[in-house]
């Protein structure tokens, strides 16, 4: 892989990461609800899901998935329903009141739950698979061994995505002081819950032949 090829992918990876999607919404949601440190666990789960999608696409399994109507629809439906479930859960999340100042207390999911939420959000996203299958081959040199190239691309993309998702989470967490009372927390939960449900609903309209992110 030449430096020019890698640098082109580097630029493309920034554009992909910055583009709003379910990962960005989840990072902002957890950053605002649980703080940057706890949101980092969710973001690590997002990276695990991203790696899985990247290697599926790189190994050619993604192409087979796109060639099968049934397999693609299964992945699409699971991903869409999972995001809608996450959104609905956040929309309906209970908020308790404590202290004289009537500050809101938010139940923080366990480390395992946050990791799994992040992983499944990216791993079940058919748009990610479509995009990787469409874009990744352009940066692979057929004459060179596949695995080292995939590792370089994976490390590059994950490092960039970590920076971008943590930036989203940091920006959201910096606004926590404005969401101390129960009414504000409920409003926040409904905004992000609604966004997740909207993204999930949009996945139902993703077509097998499309390649847009």
pLDDT tens, position by position, 124-145: 877 677 777 767 777 777 778 8
Nearest-angstrom CA–CA distance, 30 and 14? 22
| Angle between helix 146-173 and 36-58 (nearest 10) | 150
Place of tokens 């990610």: 128
Residue entry with tokens 């905004």: 191
The rounded radius of gyration (Å) of the Cα atoms in the chain is 18
CA distance readout (Å), 126 to 38, 164, 170: 27, 21, 27
What pLDDT, on a 0 to 100 scale, did the predictor assign at position 119? Answer: 94
Global model pTM greater than 0.85: no
Query: Which residues face 104 on adjacent strands?
Result: 97
- Residues 10/135, Cβ–Cβ less than 8 Å: no
Give the lowest-confidence range in 19-23, 69-73, 175-179.
175-179
Place of tokens 């706890």: 38
DSSP 8-state code for residue 1 = -
Distance, in Å, from the CA atom of 140 to the CA atom of 60, rounded to the nearest integer, reads 12
Q: Give φ, ψ of 181 to 5 degrees.
A: -90, 160
CA pair distance 165, 18, nearest whole angstrom:
8
CB atoms within 10 A of CB 80: 22
**For the chain, where are the E strands, in sequence order?**
96-98, 103-105
At 63, which helix (H) or strand (E)? helix 61-67
For residue 116, what pLDDT is reported? 93
Average pLDDT score, the chain: 78
Residues 41-90: tens digit of each pLDDT: 999 999 999 998 888 777 766 566 566 777 677 777 877 787 788 778 77
List for the chain the helix, strand, coil content (%; round to 5).
75, 5, 20
Q: How many CB atoms lie within 10 A of CB 13?
A: 20
Say how far apart CA 85 and CA 69 lie, in whole Å: 24
Contacts of residue 160, defined as CB under 8 A and 6 or more positions apart, other chains included, come to 10, 13, 14, 17
């Amino acid at each position: 892989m030449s430096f020019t090829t890698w640098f082109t992918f580097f630029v493309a990876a920034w554009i992909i990461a910055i583009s709003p999607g379910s990962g960005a919404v989840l990072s902002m949601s957890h950053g605002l609800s649980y703080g940057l440190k706890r949101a980092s666990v969710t973001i690590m789960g997002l990276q695990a899901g991203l790696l899985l999608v990247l290697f599926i696409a790189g190994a050619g399994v993604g192409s087979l998935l796109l060639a099968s109507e049934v397999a693609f629809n299964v992945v699409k439906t699971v991903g869409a329903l999972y995001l809608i479930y996450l959104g609905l859960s956040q929309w309906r999340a209970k908020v308790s009141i404590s202290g004289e100042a009537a500050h809101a207390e938010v139940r923080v999911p366990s480390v395992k739950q946050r990791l799994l939420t992040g992983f499944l959000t990216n791993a079940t996203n058919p748009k990610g698979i479509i995009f990787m299958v469409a874009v990744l081959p352009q940066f692979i040199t057929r004459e060179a061994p596949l695995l080292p190239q995939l590792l370089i691309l994976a490390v590059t993309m994950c490092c960039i995505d970590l920076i971008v998702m943590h930036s989203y989470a940091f920006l959201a967490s910096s606004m926590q002081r404005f969401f101390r009372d129960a009414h504000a927390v409920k409003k926040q939960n409904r905004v992000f819950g609604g966004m997740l449900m909207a993204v999930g609903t949009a996945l139902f309209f993703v077509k097998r032949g499309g390649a847009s992110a």
